[in-house]
Amino acid sequence: MVDARNAVELTQALIRCASVTPEEGGALRLIETILADAGFKTHWLRFSAEGTPDVDNLYARYGTGHPYLLFAGHTDVVPVGDEAQWTVPPFSGEMRDGKIYGRGATDMKGGVAASLAAALRFIDAHPDFSGSIGFLLTGDEEGPAINGTVKVLEWMAQKGERFDHCILGEPTNPERLGDMIKIGRRGSLTGHVTVHGKQGHVAYPHLADNPIPGLMRLVQGVLVTPLDSGTSHFGASNLEFTTVDVGNRASNVIPNEARATFNIRFNDLWTPETLEAEIRKRFDEAAGNSIRYEARFDPTNAIAFMTEPGPFVAKMVAAIEEMTGSKPALSTTGGTSDARFICRYGPVIEFGLTGKTMHQIDEHAEAAELVALANIYEGVITRYFAS
Ligand SMILES: [Zn+2]
């Protein structure tokens, strides 16, 4: 039986559960047993939706009172890639030179194990603390993210399970444990623009209408002025064109239409709606009456959000400083995470392991970092329930 108060041992045990998304792989079952043994009330939540795989999720809570500190995370992992290239088998959880190797070691079974170990140790020492500690663990973060955290949060809201603060244990440190807390994330919006022309022979351009110069004017028109210059905790919003397509194989034909796709990573000055309106306005201005075009935007649930630095963030900073001696940066950089769903229900911050090897061949976590991360989480929990 695994010692769940030992973050290293628990990480190894979780890696040995081959939970390539959306497979549960025994990882959530192991955690459910551990939490139930420790006195948590556990809920196994299997969700399905047409066209997506069924997904298992686990929600567990110790205590009924407030404040309620929720840890969130995922136990699913990305595929291993070419298994022959791995130094150790990707689901062995083997330790070499102080490193635990395996798929999910940093993203994010290590973070899940550290938070579990910390919570159990705190409860051992303070079984009657006032408040609650919970876990929201999904098997659908690396997949479509439809039957995972989103639905667990909806289920929680229906049951009146209202948390006060949430820590998501995704890998957040670029180089060393203690580098960086993520207090928010940028939003993401993808759009497509098509300029319509008229196909014809290059030798008879007066009989055709080339859409390429028009598309170039739209591209230029949307890029010419920066969207903004950033806010107190966010950098400037950024629009990147990712492809421009005509699909024309002939050198003597003026094409019928030209298309481009772009993605915008945006800060808290924008919502997807205000941003779409701004981009359409810029296209309209660039198009004038002469360019026929249409723009469409992919639906997005990736809004920009931020948890204002305050007492909760300060407790995390203090716990990190005590353990590592370094003061973490409060950042809003990087891609999206399940925090984009959690933020709708309460304040959420992200702190976990060093992310250098996530999704790579030979993904690994330093055993010493796992021990330190569990100590940091225990430090946060202790501070959280002390006040
Ligand atoms: Zn992850």
CATH code, 260? 3.30.70.360
CA-based radius of gyration for the chain:
24
Tell me what the pLDDT averaged over the chain comes to: 96
The CA 352 to ligand 1 mean position distance, Å, reads 10
What residues pair up with 134 in beta bridges, in sequence order?
A: 61, 70
Which helix (H) or strand (E) segment is 208 a member of? none
Quote the tokens at residue 99.
């490193």
Residue 65 and residue 142 share a domain: yes
Domain boundary among 279, 297, 315: 297
Which helix (H) or strand (E) segment is 386 a member of? helix 367-386
**192-221 burial by CB neighbour count: b if 16+ within 10 A, else e?**
ebbbebeebeeeeeeebbbbbebbebbbeb
The DSSP symbol for 220 reads: H
Q: Is 56 a catalytic residue?
A: no
Please give all residues whose CB falls under 5 A of ion ligand 1, grouped by chain where several chains appear.
Answer: 107-108, 170
At residue 335, the pLDDT reads 83
Residue 167 and residue 24 share a domain: yes
| CA distance linking residue 353 with residue 20, whole number of Å | 20
The CA 141 to ligand 1 mean position distance, Å, reads 7
The CA 170 to ligand 1 mean position distance, Å, reads 5
Domain boundary among 249, 265, 297: 297
At residue 302, the pLDDT reads 87
Residue 111 and residue 236 share a domain: no
At residue 251, the pLDDT reads 95
| CA distance linking residue 341 with residue 153, whole number of Å | 8
Count of structural domains within the chain: 2
Which helix (H) or strand (E) segment is 233 a member of? none
Domain boundary among 297, 326, 345: 297
Residue 140 and residue 275 share a domain: no
Per-residue model confidence as pLDDT tens digits over 177-204: 999 999 999 999 999 999 999 999 999 9
Whether 1 is in a domain gets the answer no
**Rounded to two decimals, what is the model's pTM?**
0.89
Per-residue model confidence as pLDDT tens digits over 110-134: 999 999 999 999 999 999 999 999 9
The CA 129 to ligand 1 mean position distance, Å, reads 30
The CA 103 to ligand 1 mean position distance, Å, reads 11
| CA distance linking residue 343 with residue 226, whole number of Å | 27
Whether 158 is in a domain gets the answer yes
Which of these is catalytic: 140, 141, 209, 363? 141
Question: What range does the domain containing 275 cover?
Answer: 187-297
Residue 208 and residue 89 share a domain: no
At residue 387, the pLDDT reads 63
Residue 270 and residue 152 share a domain: no
Residue 281 and residue 195 share a domain: yes
At residue 267, the pLDDT reads 96
Residue 111 and residue 98 share a domain: yes
The CA 345 to ligand 1 mean position distance, Å, reads 20
At residue 365, the pLDDT reads 98
pLDDT cut 90: percent of the chain above it: 95
- Give me the tens of pLDDT residue by residue for the chain, a chain 387 residues long: 899 999 999 999 999 999 999 999 999 999 999 999 999 999 999 999 999 999 999 999 999 999 999 999 999 999 999 999 999 999 999 999 999 999 999 999 999 999 999 999 999 999 999 999 999 999 999 988 899 999 999 999 999 999 999 999 999 999 999 999 999 999 999 999 999 999 999 999 999 999 999 999 999 999 999 999 999 999 999 999 999 999 999 999 999 999 999 999 999 999 999 999 999 999 999 999 999 999 999 998 888 999 999 999 999 999 999 999 999 999 999 888 899 999 999 999 999 999 999 999 999 999 999 999 999 999 999 999 996
Q: Is 141 a catalytic residue?
A: yes
Contact between 111 and 352 (Cβ < 8 Å)? yes
The amino acid occupying position 107 is D
At residue 300, the pLDDT reads 87
The CA 220 to ligand 1 mean position distance, Å, reads 36
Which of these is catalytic: 24, 32, 76, 369? 76
Residue 136 and residue 61 share a domain: yes
The CA 196 to ligand 1 mean position distance, Å, reads 41
Residue 54 and residue 23 share a domain: yes
Residue 336: give its domain's CATH number: 3.40.630.10
